[in-house]
Chain A
């Protein structure tokens, strides 16, 4: 088996071992297997990437087996390592391993410890299939698989019906997107005759194949991507997904799974480069999602919900970059986002751990001195997401803003305006979160206050590593690294001169957000509370998340339930199916009842019937010789 296959298979082995034998083998064993195998995968991945770079970056293809041969076309299971998947695989295995280590501390007292690690490893397996797959088919298997793992992990504490419902919502919303993805896959196959993505890109590079609209494919694929990456209108599952344990939120709903949509667009950039309309859709939806989610995040009171909406918003940024042709920049933001968002989520987990399970930020405060490591790492990551230099978030966000304005492939001023407003809001609400959680007077119960303690080293160690990455990660320029295969778009001539000023504007936005947050939320949020009554209707709208869930329920949920009950249940099931079966049974019964009248018990009748039979048989044989 080649190195790539090992990278993918090791977490699968972890899933099987922990899943089948974990309960009997004890928590220490589960931890060693559950964390060790992903770390091993990471090391092999690092080695493979090094080998790739040393070998001139020609993509490495490993075919595992041929899945099917249908009419002369073969569908193979193969893995593909080029620069893009190198970046992704390192992030997935690296950040993934860190989060596994964190989980040993966070989930330590949970009774389903082994099941948790089994599911985490399963997720890792599918995610690696997704990023290393050569064919869209393998990618799709990984795509569905991470959806499954997400469902299992969101509903991990399934005895609580709300949590189980959140898992269902995630899975179902994903499936709606997947319909689009499948249609896109069909079209790609129809156009090119293969599902191998490198070959698809090459075919499109030579010109759009006849009879196929690249934009149509692009839109369909983007529908799938918005399901997975929580863009409007399929974003509704991500906030509810916070019902799962915090490491799950960090790994799946911040660092890796939700970025699968961005990866998809970047991987199939060959198609999107020829699909102007689709790219415009991508960019527009992305920036609108970013703005919309940021507004909702302004008023959230659950620490994880703020981060969830923040994730949706940042994903919107990534799609904005991809929509204007700057695929490398989108991937750059994926990487930096993985660092600081994972750190933020895990930090939130640490806070929740310290607060004995409390998640409402209105009941926190004055934690900075009590849990210093958590505070420090959280603060660094907050600064990173706000875009303060020289942290990683500054570099990636600045690039996005620049290309949103200046790209000749769809960049425009209004994209920049919306994106900048979002950046300002991002900085604002993130610092609001920081202030309310860590500063000001303590607003918690006595009981809880007593128990506040710093988390164990398995958790804080990971936080420190991630914070360092969030701080320094920006210096490794991924767009440059990816440029040989994902060229950056040209800049519009009239926008050329704006590069310098934009840099300062970006810094200004970040600092401005910080100052505003300090202004309103310092001093125990005095000014914010004073301002609240005057903005009551807006506040209600935002707290209600623009009432989108209610809208879906009214427009889709209730009619579908009505149809299911009245038409399918009553007419289809009870009347047609049960009715026909009961009818057949009744027919048999009535028929038998009538036939039984033949048995009169009268011997004479029987003898007569024998006579009649004999006569009949003789006549018949007479006739037929």
Chain B
């Protein structure tokens, strides 16, 4: 297999593992980190395509994703803090209030 195929497969694997992590792990913080892993997988594929096609567009998108991930974490963490303040637990099983 050539470089591109390898890297694409790696990016797919990272994305899928991240999604699996969101489904199977119970700790709130670990779920957040798995979401970051998903973003990384996507970043990798973008860079691969950018490298392959030789255009700057890919890099631009990667940079924008960086910014968005940062902002996302900046807001998600405080939300987690507030949630934990209320329920005093990091276990996702405690947070099924929207059941119904």
Contact = CB atoms under 8 A, between A and B. Distances in A.
A and B touch in the complex (CB under 8 A): yes
Interface of A: 596, 599-604, 607-608, 610-611
B28 to A, nearest CB: 9
A600 B98 CA distance: 7
A601 B93 CA distance: 9
Nearest to B28: A603
Given A611-B19, A611-B23, A604 B92 contact: yes
Nearest to B24: A604
Q: Provide the main secondary structure of the chain A interface.
A: helix
A296 B13 CA distance: 106
A604 B27 CA distance: 11
Contacts of B63: none
A602 B96 contact: yes
Contact of B98 (A599, A607, A610): A599
B66 interface: no
Contacts of B99: 599-602
Q: Which 6 A-B pairs have the closest CB atoms?
A: A601-B96, A601-B99, A601-B98, A607-B22, A607-B23, A608-B23
Contacts of A604: 22-24, 92
A608 B99 CA distance: 16
Nearest to B92: A603
Contacts of B98: 599, 601
16 contacts: A596-B100, A599-B100, A600-B96, A601-B96, A601-B99, A601-B100, A602-B92, A602-B96, A602-B99, A603-B95, A604-B23, A607-B19, A607-B23, A608-B23, A610-B19, A611-B23
Contacts, number: 31
B2 interface: no
B37 to A, nearest CB: 14
Interface string B63-87: 0000000000000000000000000
A600 B92 CA distance: 12
A600 B93 CA distance: 11
Contacts of B22: 603-604, 607
A326 to B, nearest CB: 88
Contacts of A596: 100
A257 B100 CA distance: 71
Nearest to A609: B23
A604 B93 CA distance: 9
A208 B19 CA distance: 92
A602 B93 CA distance: 7
A601 B92 CA distance: 10
Given A599-B99, A602-B99, A603-B22, 8 more contacts: A600-B99, A601-B100, A602-B92, A603-B95, A604-B24, A607-B19, A611-B19, A611-B23
B3 to A, nearest CB: 24
Most chain A Cβ neighbours within 10 Å, of B23, B31, B92, B93: B23
Contacts of A601: 95-100
A607 B26 CA distance: 13
Contacts of A603: 22, 31, 92, 95
B80 to A, nearest CB: 13
A583 B24 CA distance: 42
Contacts of B92: 602-604
A600 B31 CA distance: 18
A611 B95 CA distance: 21
A602 B22 CA distance: 12
B89 to A, nearest CB: 14
B26 to A, nearest CB: 8
Interface in B30-88: 31
Nearest to A605: B23
B29 to A, nearest CB: 14
A563 to B, nearest CB: 49
A147 B22 CA distance: 81
A6 to B, nearest CB: 76
A607 B97 CA distance: 17
A603 B99 CA distance: 10
A604 B99 CA distance: 13
Interface in B1-23: 19, 22-23
Contacts of A599: 98-100
Nearest to B98: A601
A163 to B, nearest CB: 61
Contacts of B95: 601, 603
A403 to B, nearest CB: 90
A596 B99 CA distance: 9
A593 to B, nearest CB: 10
B27 to A, nearest CB: 12
A608 to B, nearest CB: 5
A381 B42 CA distance: 111
A602 B19 CA distance: 15
Contacts of A611: 19, 23
A475 to B, nearest CB: 96
A64 to B, nearest CB: 70
Contacts of B24: 604
A604 B92 CA distance: 8
Nearest to B21: A607
Nearest to B31: A603
A603 B95 CA distance: 8
Nearest to B25: A604
Contacts of A610: 19
Nearest to A614: B19
A601 B22 CA distance: 15
Contacts of A607: 19, 22-23
A604 B19 CA distance: 10
Contacts of B96: 600-602
B62 to A, nearest CB: 22
Contacts of B100: 596, 599, 601
A603 B19 CA distance: 12
Contacts of A602: 92-93, 96, 99
Nearest to B35: A607
